[in-house]
Chains A and B, each alone.
Chain A
Amino acid sequence: MAEEVILLDFWASMFGMRIRIALSEKRVKYDYREEDLWDKSSLLLEMNPVHKKIPVLIHNGKPVCESLIQIEYIDETWPDKNPLLPSDPYKRAHAKFWADFIDKKVNVTARRIWAAKGEEQEAAKEFIEILKTLESELGDKKYFGDETFGYVDIALIGFYSWFGVYEKFGNISIESECSKLIAWAKRCLERESVAKALPESEKVTTFVSDRRKKLGLE
């Protein structure tokens, strides 16, 4: 049966990166469509009327929104290769807890480092604490999923391409504070799915600098 998979995305989105990685891990062919977030397409507005946000996964015409939900959908729809979530209920719950933690804590705090005036120092400090919590959860495991790269790794790795942004505007060194996490990120980058999905760090930093100028923060 002919499958049609479309991904509405934005190159710098760490949430979009999750889906690029998941689809790549599953060897799913898809049509990548870059969205202009300041001039959203009618397709995006039609497919995600509630949030009007990317990424949107459109499978045979039906949209799935919210990146963690999309990863699970991808895992269940294409179950043959590279399972992304554990099948054991407790391990699965554990993975979902940490991915949800990443969504609740990492993004909100990280954004305050570069997008909010006067909050950089405080936000950067909180951000390091959050990364340390994640580092402690990682422990000595190869990946958050233990031996297998999976859901939690996919949830977090996109932020690595933004580390340059947080270091520059938060005046912090993530490498010196969270070296184990950096080592984990480099292991993830050895995977083709990740290397292809993440943009160059400098490109992201340039983009954010431009955004800050437009927001009157520079």
Chain B
Amino acid sequence: MDSFPVVKNILLLDSEGKRVAVKYYSDDWPTNTAKLAFEKSLFAKTMKSNARTEAEITMFDSNIVLYKFVQDLHFYVTGGEDENELILAAVLQGFFDSISLLLRSNVDKREALENLDLIFLCLDEIVERGMILETDANVIAGKVAVNSMDPSAPLSEQTIGQALATAREHLTRTLFQ
């Protein structure tokens, strides 16, 4: 057992198993080919399960994988086989909930791709090189949302997307207080 919980990877795949955003923290998969192979077989193993209401869990290649699906998005968190399953579950929950907060009503692939910067920032705030940074979705989304706005730009110069982002950000802030 590691002396502190270690996350080996966090994956966000679409309904065909293709990458939306992934982050690997372990050397278990040294090449992109190895990573893709892992994603492919993991997706094949889990795609038929119903992980929409509660997160599901499986053993896969001597790893524990927790996963949850919403719309056409598949969320995965992988840890070593001796890891406390519930800690990994907390990471998955934090990842899933913060993305849900950030994408608001439309948690699907299209929205995720259009806000890919938020997804990347979100991954960056959850785990740093395998060490858990934060699992509270409100805190994670709060940290990410702060940055999605350019506070100096006057409202009139913002595009519709930016305006929406500002509004979303505003809403998030008020919600978290």
Partners in one complex: no
B binding-site residues for A, Cβ under 8 Å: none
A binding-site residues for B, Cβ under 8 Å: none
